[in-house]
Amino acid sequence: MLKGLNWITRECNEFLNQFGVVASCGEVFCWYPYTNEINYTLVVDELSDNAFKEYLYHLGLQYDCDIFLLSLLHEVGHYMTDDDLTPIESELCEAAKGKIEKRKELTVADHWEYFSLKDETMASQWAVDFINNNPTEVEEFWYKVQKRILRFYELNNVVNE
């Protein structure tokens, strides 16, 4: 069992409670609509993460934020905007995602294609707007959760190479 993971989850859940979703650690960031659960991960994918961050700046992000925070709020954005999509729009987005995800090695252009899908853009725009409109709240949350993440790394001898 990884030490300190429950502290990260607890900190995330305290913040996410205001939105009606809960967090747990998983393999990738994602939102499960039937349980309102958001998976977070501590795994870094430099190409995808950098492309995603650049896409959020393209949408108007005004603050430099860690990818963990951006990804978590993006998943909240899926929850917050889910009712704004028609069933047909959701199906089209899922079909397009399936085609993109089948590609062997994703390029920056592939990531932007994915991020530009309607449901992804809506979730990202929600996250950008939340950060831009609530910078103090976001900064306070990041201060708390970052301490937990760094402690997790320390407890589990995770090193950055």
In degrees rounded to 5, what are phi and psi of residue 90? -60, -45
User: How confident is the model over 39-52, as pLDDT tens digits?
Assistant: 999 988 999 999 99
Please count the CA atoms within 13 angstroms of the CA of 140 that sit on its side-chain side: 6
Residue 44: the pLDDT is: 86
pLDDT-based confidence at residue 159 (cuts at 50, 70, 90): confident
pTM for the complete prediction? 0.94
Q: What percent of the chain has pLDDT over 90?
A: 92
User: How confident is the model over 99-153, as pLDDT tens digits?
Assistant: 999 998 999 999 999 999 999 999 999 999 999 999 999 999 999 999 999 999 9
User: How confident is the model over 16-28, as pLDDT tens digits?
Assistant: 999 999 999 999 9
All residues at 6 or more sequence positions from 21 whose CB lies less than 8 Å from its CB, including other chains: 31, 36, 37, 38, 75, 76, 79
pLDDT-based confidence at residue 161 (cuts at 50, 70, 90): low
Angle at 126 (CA atoms; ends 124, 132), nearest 5 degrees: 100
Residue 4: the pLDDT is: 84
